[in-house]
Amino acid sequence: MNTISVKNLKRIYKTTTGVIRRKTKEVEAVKDISFEISKGELFGLLGPNGAGKTTTTKVLTTLLIPNAGEVKINGLDIVKDANEIRKQIGFIFGGERGLYWRLSGIDNLRYFASLYHIEPEVSKKRIPYLLDLVGLKGRGDERVEGYSRGMKQRLHVARTLLHDPDILFLDEPTIGLDPVGAREFREVIRDLQAEKKTILLTTHYMFEADSLSDRVAVIDDGIIVALDTPSALKKHVRDLSVVEIETFGIAEIVVNKIRALPFVDAVSTREQDQRQVLLVQTERGAEAVPDLMKSLEGQRVGRVTVREPTLEDAYVRLVGGKS
């Protein structure tokens, strides 16, 4: 039996405006998603902003009711058996929110331990163990408001492990962390993997998904566009090369012009300080550079490099260059 099973999940948000003439607007955040996660697997969920990653995670963590579909965790139904499921899962939503800043780290953990009905004798031992595990030993008595972003994230991990859940949902846990903090956090995730926890990880960072996930689902506009191991996903772009062109203040119209070129497969841009790096996927590799430069005439262009594709490029191709 799979630990997590999602079949034809659909979730719509309704917003209303106006007092007398009320207008209702519907947004289909998740259109039709199906996947399964087996015990001990780390499953990555990738997608651009608004693709439906967080909505999917919130349904799985019992915080949202699906409009249609069947979601089961350890064979339990997400709507009918929400309370039983809550005992078996833990979750972290990215960012600094979700903690009591005016309380110390230890008081935060004591509070959440009481909500999971953990006996005080047990939590007295477990809290120092977890603080040590996440690298906050000796800092537990300080108020959370004085913690760095990375420390807050690590406190989130300690909070979610208080009741030792077998299933973890990590929604963009490294968002906003500095590179060192993110690397340390990935080490924590690896430790959890080694403990055979079943983990669903949503992330924007391809490197993170590539290095941590057993399988990755790419989600776009509420549907899964690809689901495979990271190495199999990379095969989607095996026949392509990526031309990286450094530009300064390039207009969207020029990007669209390049996107329309017959030999171009996908184009995305990456902001880097005050530069925009154009990432052009093409079968022609270095041969495409002169034609690309012709299309960029009149633009300020910096360094140009040609490289092999990565998982990120596979992702860009799958979501149509939206990143």
Q: Summarize as ranges the residues that interact with other proteins (CB under 8 A).
A: 13-14, 58, 61-65, 83-84, 86-87, 91, 93, 95, 97-103, 107, 110-112, 114-117, 119-120, 159
**SS3 letters across 7-70:** EEEEEEEEEEECCCCCEEEEEEEEEEEEEEECCCCEEEEECCCCCCHHHHHHHHCCCCCCCEEE
Nearest distance from C-beta of residue 19 to other proteins, angstroms: 12
Q: How far apart are CA 25 and CA 13, in angstroms?
A: 8
Nearer to other proteins, 163 or 234 (CB): 163
Nearer to other proteins, 114 or 229 (CB): 114
**Interior angle at CA 47, CA 310 and CA 319, nearest 5:** 70
Nearer to other proteins, 110 or 284 (CB): 110
Q: How far apart are CA 141 and CA 161, in angstroms?
A: 19
Q: What distance, in Å, lies between the first and last C-alpha atoms of the chain?
A: 35
Q: Phi and psi of 118, rounded to 5°?
A: -85, 125
Distance (Å) of CA 217 to CA 21, 53, 184, 230, 294: 41, 10, 24, 9, 37
Q: How far apart are CA 144 and CA 152, in angstroms?
A: 7
Nearer to other proteins, 78 or 266 (CB): 78
Nearest distance from C-beta of residue 212 to other proteins, angstroms: 24
Nearest distance from C-beta of residue 78 to other proteins, angstroms: 10
Nearest distance from C-beta of residue 202 to other proteins, angstroms: 14
Nearer to other proteins, 98 or 176 (CB): 98
Q: How far apart are CA 77 and CA 85, in angstroms?
A: 8
Cα 201 from chain centre: 6
Nearest distance from C-beta of residue 61 to other proteins, angstroms: 6
Q: Confirm if 160 and 153 have CB atoms less than 8 A apart.
A: no
Nearer to other proteins, 99 or 267 (CB): 99
Q: How far apart are CA 147 and CA 136, in angstroms?
A: 10
Nearest distance from C-beta of residue 209 to other proteins, angstroms: 23
Nearer to other proteins, 123 or 276 (CB): 123
Nearest distance from C-beta of residue 200 to other proteins, angstroms: 15
